[in-house]
Amino acid sequence: MRTLLAALLAALLAAFFAATPARGAEPPVVAAASDLRFAVEEVAAGFERERGSRVRVTLGSSGNFRHQIAAGAPFEIFMSADEEYVAALHKEGRTLDGGVLYAIGRIVLFAPHGSAVTPDADMASLAAAVREGRVDRIAIANPEHAPYGRAAREALQRRGLWEALKGRLVLGENVSQAAQFASSGGAQAGLFAYSLALSPAVAQRGRYVLLPDTLHAPLRQRMALLAGAGPIAREFYAYLQQPAARAIFRRHGFALPGE
């Protein structure tokens, strides 16, 4: 009993005295939309390898980041999945400039192995499965604040499936949670970013089809340096626009602006 308490106390003290790194010496934080999960980590690794500097990446929904940045979150780069958020922050003086378009996103229809849904581009199988009541749950990101959720909603509306599906949606807090819901088999289908479907962790768990970009407004992904960005952040921002980084985005299923 006493030794247990002593051990707890020792752990406490160790944690307590663990050095707090000096502010500013820490690598800058990049707030990136969730669809970039695998792509941006690869770019950051390349950046560290080539330039010897590190950035910290935090992933989430673009809408949430937009509000956190407005509330003063100490991010230095914002990589949004929707250019509107960057525009809004620019208007509020939170960004250094209007930013640049770095990628155009696409969405897929994904069905895990064993699902009643067979992914096809016009979503006929999904429509049939819905009609026959073989689909309980379909995962998308929350359209309220996640751009990929909005694109998914538009696609379902275009195909006339939105009303029928509305009661069966599971909403991910961001697009990567939507992908996780669908690929884990918790939902029979999901609409989410192509970039996530391409990752082995998702791809091996089901089948997917890339949906035509005519089904939704283009997901114009814009990034910007935020007020107070330091030299490393500026360097990374430039690196993101270099051919090496662009190649990574392309490999992860993004269309690139100007191509």
Question: C-beta of 18: minimal distance to other proteins in Å?
Answer: 5
Q: Is 22 in the site for other proteins (CB under 8 A)?
A: no
Give the range of 51-59, 95-103, 147-155, 243-251 binding other proteins by CB under 8 A.
Answer: 51-59
Q: Is 199 in the site for other proteins (CB under 8 A)?
A: yes
Question: C-beta of 154: minimal distance to other proteins in Å?
Answer: 23
Q: Is 53 in the site for other proteins (CB under 8 A)?
A: no
Residue placing its CB nearer to other proteins in the complex, 174 or 221: 174
List CB contacts of 135: < 8 A, sequence separation 6 or more: 116, 117, 126, 129, 165, 168, 188, 189
Q: Is 230 in the site for other proteins (CB under 8 A)?
A: no
| DSSP H stretches of helix in 18-161 | 37-51, 62-70, 83-91, 124-131, 147-158
Between the alpha carbon of residue 150 and those of residues 30, 77, 191, the distances in Å are 23, 23, 10
- Please check whether residue 108 is in contact with residue 189, taking contact to mean a CB–CB distance below 8 angstroms: no
- Of the candidates 206, 34, 220, which has an alpha carbon nearest to the alpha carbon of residue 109? 206
- Of the candidates 104, 106, 125, 103, which has an alpha carbon nearest to the alpha carbon of residue 115? 125
Residue placing its CB nearer to other proteins in the complex, 73 or 170: 73
Q: Which residue of 3, 49, 52, 72 would you call a contact of other proteins, by CB under 8 A?
A: 72
How far is 115 from 129, CA to CA, in rounded Å? 10
Question: C-beta of 158: minimal distance to other proteins in Å?
Answer: 28
- Of the candidates 220, 218, 211, which has an alpha carbon nearest to the alpha carbon of residue 189? 211
Residues numbered 77 to 106 that lie near other proteins (CB under 8 A) are none
Q: Which residue of 6, 10, 45, 74 would you call a contact of other proteins, by CB under 8 A?
A: 74
Q: Is 11 in the site for other proteins (CB under 8 A)?
A: yes
Q: Is 21 in the site for other proteins (CB under 8 A)?
A: yes
How far is 177 from 171, CA to CA, in rounded Å? 8
Structure tokens at 155: 């696609």
Q: Is 26 in the site for other proteins (CB under 8 A)?
A: yes
How far is 66 from 83, CA to CA, in rounded Å? 11
Q: Which residue of 95, 115, 142, 183 would you call a contact of other proteins, by CB under 8 A?
A: 183
Residues binding other proteins (CB under 8 A): 1, 4-5, 8, 11-16, 18, 20-21, 23, 26, 29, 34, 37, 56-60, 68, 70-74, 174, 176-177, 179-180, 183-184, 199, 201-202
